[in-house]
Amino acid sequence: MQKELVDCLLTRNHDGFVRQKHLERIVGSENVWIPPFLIRLVGEYVLEIFDLIDQNRGNPNVSIYPEFVRSNPVFIALTEQRVISYWNAGYCYPGLGQRAYTRDDYIGFRLIRFFKALAINGRAN
């Protein structure tokens, strides 16, 4: 349990490689303290971390997320605002005035929709 708690804390490290390494250790955990650390990563910008979260959406531990999402609407809204911000500012082709991804294609939005669906349905759509 102590190692898992340390892994959670290290998902907040300044180095994206460190965040990813420690996320890999907790992404399948069923402990209720995991959702805020994992969902917070959705509001960042490391595509490899998004991919790791996306690949693990079908894990049986998904049952720990609906209650967290329903109980923390401000946290989810802030995370979604961060997704919007990174999509809008961070994923543009320089000089072309275009975003690298459409809103529908950007994985951050797909993950936010996934967690919101869990909160509504108790499962993903």
Render pLDDT for 29-73 as a digit per residue (tens, 0 to 9).
Answer: 989 999 999 999 999 988 899 999 999 988 767 788 999 999 999
Tens-digit pLDDT profile for residues 74-122: 999 999 999 998 888 765 455 555 667 778 888 999 999 999 998 988 6
Secondary structure of residue 93 in the 3-state scheme: strand
Closest to 86 in 3D by CA, of 121, 45, 36, 114? 45
Q: Provide the pLDDT for residue 8.
A: 97
pTM: 0.86
Tokens of 5: 């708690």
Closest to 21 in 3D by CA, of 8, 40, 35? 8
Q: Provide the pLDDT for residue 98.
A: 61
pLDDT band at 21 (very low <50, low <70, confident <90, very high): very high
Q: Which residue has the tokens 């919007």?
A: 84
Neighbours of 33 (CB within 10 A): 14
Q: CA-to-CA distance for 40 and 9, rounded, in angstroms?
A: 12
Q: Where are the domains of the chain?
A: 2-121
